[in-house]
Amino acid sequence: MKLVFDSSSIFQAIIENKVSILAGNYTLKLAKYELGNLVWKRRALMKDLEREECKKLMEIIKGTLNLMEVLDIECHEAEVAELAESLNLTFYDASYIFLAKSKGIPLSDS
């Protein structure tokens, strides 16, 4: 069964060395930026990653996303905004829900 994965689920799969579960599944182009921001936070704010670890992690993220179907919500921003408002969610979160609904597939719960 295909699933939609958000950036936190993708990151969790990476750190648990379970990238294979992501292959062939869906995410948004947005995930690349969210994952990059997550790595930046770990380095700049939490200071628990060294510069070289960040570089390696970004390469792993890039490779992982290349295994996935990375889609965009372009031309559907108004629908996502309405969904965000109706569900009282951020536009980011509503984007993943919109993708899952539009593909008729579940959003990963991991």
d(CA 96, CA 84): 10
Domain presence at residue 1: no
Residue 91: the pLDDT is 95
Domain presence at residue 2: no
**What's the domain count of the chain?**
1
CB 48 within 8 A of CB 95: no
Q: DSSP label at 4?
A: B
Bridge partner residues of 26 (DSSP):
4, 69
CATH no. for residue 18? Answer: 3.40.50.1010
d(CA 55, CA 49): 10
pTM: 0.89
Residue 109: the pLDDT is 83
d(CA 102, CA 90): 18
Q: Tens place of pLDDT for every residue, the chain, 110 residues?
A: 899 999 999 999 999 999 999 999 999 999 999 999 999 999 999 999 999 999 999 999 999 999 999 999 999 999 999 999 999 999 999 999 999 999 999 999 87
DSSP code per residue over 11-44:
HHHHHTT-GGGGTT-EEETHHHHHHHHHHHHHHH
Range of the domain at 84: 7-103
Judged by DSSP in three states, 49 sits in coil
Domain presence at residue 110: no
